[in-house]
Amino acid sequence: MNTGKVYLVGAGPGDPDLITVKGANAIKAADVIVYDRLVNKKLLDYAKPLVKLVYCGKLPDRHIIPQEEINKILVSHALQGKTVVRLKGGDPSIFGRVGEEAEFCVENGISFEIVPGITSGIAASTYAGIPLTHRDFSSSCAFITGHKRTDEVRKDIQWDKLATSIDTLVFYMGVGNIGMIQEQLTKHGRSPNTPVALVRWGTTEEQETLVGTLQDIVRKVEEAQFRSPAIIVVGEVVKLRDKLAWFQEKGASMVKLAHA
């Protein structure tokens, strides 16, 4: 039996129309699809009728299937000659553990391809009317993981350099640690008046945006009971939201048309 192949595919940020053509084609060809919690289920409509679906969604505090087991699932099906698609929300290389899965394929002699996707840090902020760069506000941006099981300070992040050297900061999986993020940024020199936005369920009909400053964002998150999944954008570009919130305006226009 010939060995199959694994495709590590970025499903995009939530809006199913944002899947790449190559990603959609991989789903169509798949014999097995191993997919995450944040993948829009409409993308599975591309799949063949008899495709095997394996759900391995991850909650912030609990993994339904451990990463090591996911690695083995991909390889075991490929060894049976199957075309396997590992479908991940956003882009697989941005906090998506694609490196670990690709390494496991290499170690087991399995051919693989990585299909990039649109990461939520770019897509959710853009749908909220916040471009991450702008000639008047930002010439640099950084993606940072804000996730940790406790509210301890992330020792692997150089807060003293990050706080003031990058114009726009985008934190993934950081809502539960917003207090720690705020504290470290202001402690290391970021102005308390720096605009902050949280975008929840970006690019979907459920998208919500909460805006404040480093000084008051923790209180606003608590008052609004704002929960994950959401990205956090820190920087002057957040000021553009009032002018550029096109997706919000699109939704309002659709409501008006529906009632016309």
Going residue by residue through the chain (260 aa), what tens digit of pLDDT does each one get? 689 999 999 999 999 999 999 999 999 999 999 999 999 999 999 999 999 999 997 665 556 789 999 999 999 999 999 999 999 999 999 999 999 999 999 999 999 999 999 999 999 999 999 999 999 999 999 999 987 644 456 668 999 999 999 999 999 999 999 999 999 999 999 999 999 999 999 999 999 999 999 999 999 999 999 999 999 999 999 999 999 999 976 654 433 333 33
AA letter at 166: I
pLDDT at 60: 57
Paired sense of beta strands 58-59 and 62-63, if any: antiparallel
Q: Is 36 annotated in the active site?
A: yes
> CA–CA separation, 62 vs 43, rounded Å?
24
The residue from 82, 91, 148, 173 that is catalytic is 173
> CA–CA separation, 175 vs 61, rounded Å?
13
Q: Is 180 annotated in the active site?
A: no
pLDDT at 258: 36
The residue from 22, 52, 58, 220 that is catalytic is 58
Domains and CATH numbers, the chain: 5-118 (3.40.1010.10), 121-246 (3.30.950.10)
Q: Is 167 annotated in the active site?
A: no
pLDDT at 2: 86
| pTM of this prediction exceeds 0.95 | no
pLDDT at 154: 61
The residue from 31, 36, 91, 167 that is catalytic is 36
